[in-house]
Amino acid sequence: MKIAIVSPYDWAATGGVNNHISHLAEQFVEMGHAPHIIAPGVGKMANTPCPVTVIGRPIPLRVSGSVARITLSLRTAGKVQEVLEEGFDIVHVHEPFMPQLPIQFLRYSTAVNVGTWHAARESNFFYLYGRRLIKRWQTKLDGKIAVSNAAVKHIEQYFPGYYNIIPNGVDVEHFTQEAEPLPEFMDGKKNVLFVGRPEKRKGLKYLIRAFVGVQRAIPDSRLIVVGAGKFDRYEAAVRKAKLHDVVFRSFVPFNELPRYHKSAHVFCAPNTGFESQGIVLLEAMAAGLPIVASNIDGFAGVLTHGVEGLLVKPEDPPALAEALIDLLRDPVKSARMVVRGADRVEHFRWDRVSQQVLSYYERLIYERRLVEKG
């Protein structure tokens, strides 16, 4: 099966959608199919499991507190048509109505078209002001996928209809591998791990406030903050709160993350919202950690309170502190949650997720042929 997989985002930039696409492509190649990735970018792209064609120069655009690198070029039509001449069985566009590349593929594709929505936001500027224009391309979609109920809830505000839920996958093997804990954290202290970007919606300021209470109850506790970005303003907040044993690690490579998980006793995700799926929670489950997380749609979809971890009210430092203290003081409860988390994360392995996507393709192709036969 020849499959065009289209990303709206700069292929050279790491991110959830591009990671999703890369894993899908890798699995499709292993299954004997022929994926072809198309995305904005500059120059040739290396280290990919299949051919990659870059169309359009990406520019940074702020969206919901994050910076998205997309192309707004109006000169992509010719290159899009040229790529489509390869004759694909499936054209799979991710974030289908994001400007500019996915819409161009929907405009010109005569293949079976599939769209996947990843985001869960409170509002969307493009959808709100562009939905009348976008609806003409909505009819070109033969199949629609959302990665979670939270993503469905978001997209249905603007484009009601049926969305087949197929989740993001998780690189389970990467986090279950034997990894050496970091010696600097193996001094008998109880370690709480946070992994995330230094963005407001990740809720780190609430965790810092909560950790004041954690250290009051458990003096030999430590907070380890890991992420892709600089945490300058949070380091200032730690100094102001006169907290000790709060360690910041910026720009930690993905390959090194398991060592931080193996050094921790509890994983904490204090996010305030706009999370379509709790990937960081699933990675923590795979790594063998109990979890304390905010009770938001994207997280409640993968973690059940009292089973794999504890869910607490968002933006509530006292509740966050109480839950962390509970798990740090109760290793039996924590161990029970770790076992259940290991079972839960098996449903999100990339080989399972990619097979679900492939089966959906096959179903849509069959339905198209039935229609064409009359």
Q: How confident is the model at residue 48 (pLDDT cuts 50, 70, 90)?
A: confident
Give the pLDDT confidence of 11-38 residue by residue, as tens digits.
988 888 999 999 999 999 999 999 999 9
Give the other-Cβ count within 10 Å of 292's Cβ: 27
Please report where in the chains the tokens 């923590």 appear, as a residue. 284
Q: How far apart are CA 359 and CA 356, in angstroms?
A: 5
Domain with CATH 3.40.50.2000 in the chain: 2-169+349-373, 172-347
Please report where in the chains the tokens 């109850």 appear, as a residue. 217
Sequential DSSP letters for 320-362: HHHHHHHHHH-HHHHHHHHHHHHHHHGGGBHHHHHHHHHHHHH
**Which CATH code is given to the segment(s) 172-347?**
3.40.50.2000
151 burial type by CB count under 10 A (0-12 exposed, 13-18 middle, 19+ buried): buried
Give the pLDDT confidence of 166-224 residue by residue, as tens digits.
999 999 999 999 999 999 999 999 999 999 999 899 999 999 999 999 999 999 999 99
Contacts of 260 (CB under 8 A, 6+ apart): 182, 193, 195, 224, 226, 249, 252
Sequential DSSP letters for 246-263: EEEEES--GGGHHHHHHT
Give the pLDDT confidence of 201-214 residue by residue, as tens digits.
999 999 999 999 99
Amino acid letter for position 220? D
- The class (CATH top level) of 2-169+349-373 is alpha beta
